[in-house]
């Protein structure tokens, strides 16, 4: 799945690059990112820095953006970005989370292919205009995930954890406001909500394939111990997946041959 998605993004990007009858935009995107999961706060946007900034960093999103405007209203967009995700039970509203006091960070690289619809013809050939817009699409996310190695003996069960890279998909959607302040330059602000297909962004869940076992016990006894470890280790709602959201500003520059908006 990861390889096929990469090939699809490359093919689409190459097609957009050679579509000379269209108008192109490139830009930079900066803002804040936050996680909605089983650990930490559950606010959907506007994450505040948590804990020690020198240790945890900032809840940061940074990326680059390419748009192709099919007409004054419709746009296809490709984003590639990096998110520093923070989650900390000490800042949660729920009492059981604050008492639990789990916390951590994750680094997420995302590639989003989006369709945008502007409510006003902001991509028309004018020097200035402002328009709200909505968007939705598909994401590929590359992140850290936790793996566990269990050592089981007659007297003890020891768990050793390590982080490895993992891939998942998402279905981003959101709203924004685009202000074209001269012929070439535009400034956009938007909220992106990115529900993923994973429950491992906050390390709250281990799947069967994430656990390796070294055991001196019999097969049935080992299986029972591993299952008990998994039941105790996994927390939260296992049917609710993690969301990686962002609130960002985009500064973009338009170039290329003006589009032919044929009717």
Give the global pTM.
Answer: 0.81
Number of domains observed in the structure of the chain: 1
pLDDT band at 126 (very low <50, low <70, confident <90, very high): low
Residues 211 and 163: beta-carbon distance below 8 Å: no
Would 261 be classed as within a structural domain?
Answer: no
* Element of type H or E holding 246: strand 243-255
Q: What's the length of the chain? A: 263
pLDDT tens, 37-81? Answer: 888 887 777 677 776 776 777 889 999 999 998 888 999 999 999
Would 57 be classed as within a structural domain?
Answer: yes
Would 262 be classed as within a structural domain?
Answer: no
pLDDT tens, 127-172? Answer: 788 999 999 999 999 999 989 888 888 878 888 888 889 999 999 9
Give the domain range for residue 182. Answer: 2-15+22-255
Residues contacting 72, CB < 8 A, separation 6+: 118, 121, 122, 123, 124, 261
For the chain, the average pLDDT equals: 84
Would 82 be classed as within a structural domain?
Answer: yes
Residues 235 and 229: beta-carbon distance below 8 Å: no
Would 59 be classed as within a structural domain?
Answer: yes
Would 172 be classed as within a structural domain?
Answer: yes
Supply the CATH number for residue 223's domain.
2.40.160.20
153: buried, middle or exposed (CB in 10 Å: 19+, 13-18, 0-12)?
A: exposed
Would 260 be classed as within a structural domain?
Answer: no
């Amino acid at each position: 799945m990861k390889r096929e998605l990469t090939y699809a993004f490359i093919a689409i990007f190459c097609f957009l690059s050679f579509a000379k009858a269209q108008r192109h935009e490139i830009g930079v995107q900066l803002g804040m990112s936050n996680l909605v999961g089983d650990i930490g706060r559950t606010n959907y946007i506007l994450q505040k820095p948590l804990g020690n900034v020198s240790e945890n960093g900032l809840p940061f999103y940074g990326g680059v953006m390419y748009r192709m405007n099919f007409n004054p209203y419709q746009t296809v967009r490709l984003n590639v970005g990096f998110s520093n995700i923070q989650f900390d039970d000490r800042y949660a509203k729920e009492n059981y989370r604050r008492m639990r006091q789990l916390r951590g960070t994750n680094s997420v690289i995302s590639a989003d292919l989006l369709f945008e619809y502007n409510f006003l013809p902001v991509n028309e050939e004018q020097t200035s205009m402002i328009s709200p817009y909505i968007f939705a699409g598909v994401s590929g996310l590359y992140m850290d995930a936790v793996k566990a190695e269990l050592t089981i003996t007659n007297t003890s069960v020891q768990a050793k954890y390590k982080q490895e890279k993992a891939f998942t998909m998402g279905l981003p959607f959101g709203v924004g406001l685009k202000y074209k302040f001269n012929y070439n330059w535009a400034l956009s602000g938007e909220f992106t909500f990115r529900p993923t297909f994973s429950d491992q962004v906050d390390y709250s869940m281990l799947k069967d394939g994430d656990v390796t076992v070294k055991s001196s016990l019999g097969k049935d006894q080992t299986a029972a111990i591993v299952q008990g470890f998994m039941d105790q280790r996994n927390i939260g709602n296992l049917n609710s997946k993690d969301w990686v959201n962002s609130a960002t500003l985009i500064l973009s520059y338009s170039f290329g041959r003006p589009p032919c908006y044929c009717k």
